[in-house]
Amino acid sequence: MDGTVLYIGGAIATAFGTVAWWAVRSVHARQNDFEKDLAAYKLHVAETYVTSNELGKAIDAFNRSIDAVFAKLERIEGKLDTKADK
């Protein structure tokens, strides 16, 4: 009878260990998949989207262009105001 209890206990321990091993392996595999997906997403973002420094430079260039347009419009307005045959 003592041997039977040991065999049953060993079988239960083995079954529990197998289930625990399977669960840990499954979680580890999902974590690796998540890390790969995250790395791919980071690469996509780095390749696709503009950095804040580049965006700031582009906005500054756009603002300078708009200022130049308004300066030309003011010069045209000044010339029209001084025109003799209004």
CA dist., res. 35 & res. 46, Å (int): 16
CA dist., res. 69 & res. 63, Å (int): 10
Residue recorded with tokens 């010339």: 79
Q: What pLDDT, on a 0 to 100 scale, did the predictor assign at position 79?
A: 87
Tens-place pLDDT, residues 61-84? 999 999 999 999 999 998 888 876
Of 7-21, 46-60, 71-85, minimum mean pLDDT range: 71-85
pTM of the model: 0.49
CA dist., res. 64 & res. 70, Å (int): 10
E strand intervals along 1-86: none
Tell me how far the alpha carbon of residue 22 is from its chain's centroid: 32
Is the predicted pLDDT of residue 33 greater than 60, yes or no? Answer: yes
- For residue 18, give both structure tokens: 């197998």
Q: What pLDDT, on a 0 to 100 scale, did the predictor assign at position 31?
A: 94
